[in-house]
Amino acid sequence: MTRHKRHTIKLKSMYQWHRYIGITIAFFVIILSITGILLNHTTEFKLSTRHIKNEALLKHYGIRAPDNVRSHVSNNIWVSQWGSRLYLDKKDLGEINSQLIGIMYYKEMIVIGLSDNLLLYTADGELIEKLSSEGGIPPVVTAIGITDNHLLAVNSTQGTYVADIDLTSWHKEPQAKTIWNSPENLPKPLHDILLIEYRGKGLNMERVLLDIHSGRLLGTGGVYFMDVVALLLIFLACSGLWIWTMRLIKQSRHKT
Amino acid sequence: MYKLLFILIMFTIALPGWSRGTYQEPADFLLEIFQQKVPKAKVIWLSGEVRDKATEILTHKPRSLRVRYWANNEKSIWVLDEIGKTEPITVGFVISDNKITRVKVLIFRESRGSEIRHNFFTRQFNNAKLTQQNKLDRHIDGITGATLSVRALTRLSRLALYLNQQRLKK
């Protein structure tokens, strides 16, 4: 076999490897490229604030509802605490560091009682004010209720406190006759909606894209698989360069 | 040697956490300023033009619809929150004769930038007034590494002065 023939076979064989490997990993290269582009523009696409609601994916990530969901109702307005998240009907009010103790509909305001402060909302769910210790609220609130004089009251470890009509000042009133708001079970339809909402908040698009990009979505095996894809991609780049160079040499030899 | 290295590493890790803290409870701040005789709280509603101006000063919508303050004939106190980078900073302002007479960082929740709590910084606000454009009548020197906290405190001081003006108009 002449040197020229050996060289042609080598080139052909390399070309075949290049083609087969290219076809094999084409799908994964597309996935890597698309996820890479999206991850490069996380802020623009707001990926960290887009949440996944797909049941199978949430299950895959092991995201489930907290064991205890605390909920209260007043005037048919529900407030519920899911782990550290607080919901007013279906609206997510964000994270809280304390415990939900009740809700009262008071003078067209919604008063949500937490163990360390009170949150006042409009009927549209807009925050009016957060009342804490400087507003005269006792440090550990255990219940919220309404007195027989139609004033808002809170029960605490220091006794019962009653507010003035605008909720601007509070005074101790141990004798106040109060109906306290007590926990109730969330209606099933609202529970199911919030369950999806809560679980969805546990997983954002950025995390899923990162896991697809790295292969982590399929566990440790997936990571190694993506490593192999990356190595093959390096091989493709090198083999492509090699084939191109060899052809260039061949063409220049033919010319001479 | 390794022990020293370990201590140094732990110190570096813990450092950001140390800047967080409650320097004074807002209720105690009120008691201190009013010398134990805290007047009844009043509220100012952020609606209409007041809300628009507050939005302009804060560069975002105010987080609540009403703001509480305490006032007697001489002074008013405003306890306001504003996010520096990710967490709210709670600051107490004492305003007298439309001028800031005292600024105190009460609760700092961010991991960096707590240097704004020091007197060398907060005393720059003493006697600061609001211009017609709702800006401070003086330049506030920043602190390296605490830019966002400095900006948040400056915004809050403008808001406190503006709300105090609205209170007096009532």
Q: Is the pLDDT of residue A168 over 60?
A: yes
Residue spans per domain, chain B: 2-169
Q: Which residues of A touch B24 (CB under 8 A)?
A: none
pLDDT at B9: 56
C-alpha B165, offset from chain centre: 17
Cα four-point dihedral sign A133, A164, A95, A192: positive
A125 at the B interface (CB within 8 A)? no
- For tokens 């008063």, the residue is A111
How far is A84 from A199, CA to CA, in rounded Å?
Answer: 13
What phi and psi values does residue B96 have, to the nearest 5 degrees?
Answer: -140, 130
Nearest to A128 among B25, B64, B79 (CB): B64
Task: Output the six-digit token pair for B83.
Answer: 């996010």
Choice between B77 and B37, residue whose per-residue pLDDT is larger: B77
What are the structural domains of chain A?
Answer: 3-50+205-255 (no CATH), 60-201 (2.130.10.10)
Q: Mean of the pLDDT values across residues B95-123? A: 91
Query: Among A122, A133, A135, whose Cβ lies nearest the Cβ of B25?
Result: A133
Which of B32, B68, B86, B93 should one mutate to test binding to chain A, selecting the residue with the greatest count of A CBs within 10 A? B68
Q: Is the pLDDT of residue B34 over 60?
A: yes
pLDDT of residue A65: 76
User: B82-94, pLDDT tens digit by residue?
Assistant: 998 888 899 999 9
Helix (H, G, I), strand (E, B) or coil at B18: helix
A25-29, A43-47, B136-140: range with lowest mean pLDDT: A43-47
A80 and A186 in contact (C-beta within 8 Å)? yes
A129 contacts B67? CB cut-off 8 A: yes
Distance from CA of A142 to the nearest CA of B (A): 20
Query: Cα angle vertex A70, ends B68, A127, to 5°?
Result: 25
Let me know: does B130 contact B159? Beta carbons within 8 Å.
no
Cross-chain CB nearest to B27 (options A134, A166, A169)? A134
ipTM: 0.77
A225 C-beta neighbours (distance < 10 Å), count: 14
List chain A residues with CB under 8 Å of B42: 168
Nearest to A27 by CA among A225, A206, A211, A219: A225
Please give the average per-residue pLDDT across A109-131, as a whole number. Answer: 92
Strand-pair partners of A72: A79
Residue A33 has pLDDT above 80, yes or no: yes
The chain A residue lying nearest B39, using CA atoms, is A169
